[in-house]
Amino acid sequence: MNDRVAPSVGIDVSQETLDVATTDAQAWQVKHHPRAIAALVRRLSKLQPLRIIVESTGRLQEDLVVALMEAQLPVIVVNPRQVREFAKATGSWAKTDRRDAQLLARFGEAVKPPLRSLPDEATRELAALVARRRQLQGMIVAETHRRGRAPRGVRREIEQHIAYLEARREHLDQELQDRLRQSPVWQEQADLLRSVPGIGPTLSATLLAELPELGSLTRRQIAALTGVAPFAHDSGRFKGRRVTRGGRADVRRTLFMATLAAARCNPVIRAFYQRLVATGKAKKLALVACMRKLIVILNAILKHRTAWNPNLGLQT
């Protein structure tokens, strides 16, 4: 009789290497290269782990995660902050790539984070375009700040670069809309989202690419996943201030900009914001509450496949 317990695996991803460790004391390193990843997938398939834990490191881990998921291996991408808190709780202060991989394996065994489905190739490509647009926008903002402080001789060159970046952003916006039109499902969802006053093409594309769970979760789940759900901080008679944390930061930042627009042009969000401010709520906290209300409305719209209705907004 085989009493072997399947291990958990941790993989620390860097630009050049992948450090692998298991909870049954195996550890090895491979190059971060397609052929090495293919060999690693074959080895892990034979190992049959319970879960494979990888930290989210921008897009550095994406090729590895896709390869593991395509091989139907139980890979889970986790928030680095969760792992750091786990390390503090267990007294693991030393940091090397190998120790990080061992920590990830132990984190998987102790916490047992849930598995999530892999976005299809089209969704990953859409997410990459959305991320690239965000990068271009960041460069435009940075160059605009530099222009104000630059000498006259340099200012013209900066203005030319800004013009180039803005043209690339417009081209990317068009490509994003073309991608959405190529999919009847995406186009229907985008039209539903944009039926809400204050929701434009940037947020709709961001939500479809980076929050594909929208429309399939409860209102509390979607608020927590976005990072706009208030968490209690109470102990005994002490009633602490509710704060939001975690979630998908890039989605949250784009949602914030859309909420600023909605607070002006969306009658439901505007009335909600004004009511909160009138009762003494700080303006920034009122905006966060509006963000939560807006994402809950959008979730309900996709769930019920119903275009914007102010009465629906009043019920959320």
List Cβ neighbours of 28 (8 Å cut-off, separation of 6 or more): 20
- Decide which of 87, 111, 135 is a domain's last residue: 111
* Distance, C-alpha 106 to centroid of its chain: 24
Residue 281 shares a structural domain with residue 294: yes
Q: Which residues on adjacent β-strands are paired with residue 54?
A: 11, 77
* Distance, C-alpha 293 to centroid of its chain: 19
Residue 19 shares a structural domain with residue 92: yes
- Decide which of 182, 198, 224 is a domain's last residue: 182
pLDDT tens digit sequence for 60-90? 888 898 899 888 899 998 888 889 889 888 8
Q: Is the residue at 70 inside a domain?
A: yes
Residue 71 shares a structural domain with residue 152: no
Query: What is the structure's pLDDT at 269?
Result: 95
Query: What is the structure's pLDDT at 6?
Result: 86
Report the number of distinct structural domains present in the chain: 3
Residue 81 shares a structural domain with residue 136: no
The CATH number assigned to the domain holding 84 equals: 3.30.420.40
Residue 99 shares a structural domain with residue 156: no
Q: Is the residue at 1 inside a domain?
A: no
* Distance, C-alpha 117 to centroid of its chain: 14
Residue 218 shares a structural domain with residue 261: yes
Residue 15 shares a structural domain with residue 43: yes
Query: What is the structure's pLDDT at 247?
Result: 77
Q: Is the residue at 77 inside a domain?
A: yes
Residue 88 shares a structural domain with residue 23: yes
Using 50 as the pLDDT threshold, list the residues of the chain that sit under it: 1
Query: Is the four-CA dihedral 175, 179, 182, 187 of positive or negative sign?
Result: negative
Q: Is the residue at 167 inside a domain?
A: yes
Residue 194 shares a structural domain with residue 173: no
Residue 76 shares a structural domain with residue 162: no
pLDDT tens digit sequence for 276-286? 999 999 999 99
Q: Is the residue at 2 inside a domain?
A: no
Please give the residue range of the domain that contains residue 206. Answer: 184-316
Residue 103 shares a structural domain with residue 153: no
Q: Is the residue at 58 inside a domain?
A: yes
Query: What is the structure's pLDDT at 241?
Result: 62
Residue 155 shares a structural domain with residue 235: no
Q: Is the residue at 130 inside a domain?
A: yes
Q: Is the residue at 3 inside a domain?
A: no
Query: What is the structure's pLDDT at 248?
Result: 84
Question: What's the residue count for the chain?
Answer: 316
Query: What is the structure's pLDDT at 148?
Result: 85
Query: What is the structure's pLDDT at 1?
Result: 42
Query: What is the structure's pLDDT at 61?
Result: 87
**pLDDT mean across residues, the chain:** 88
Q: Are 225 and 247 in contact (CB under 8 A)?
A: yes
- Decide which of 160, 182, 204 is a domain's last residue: 182
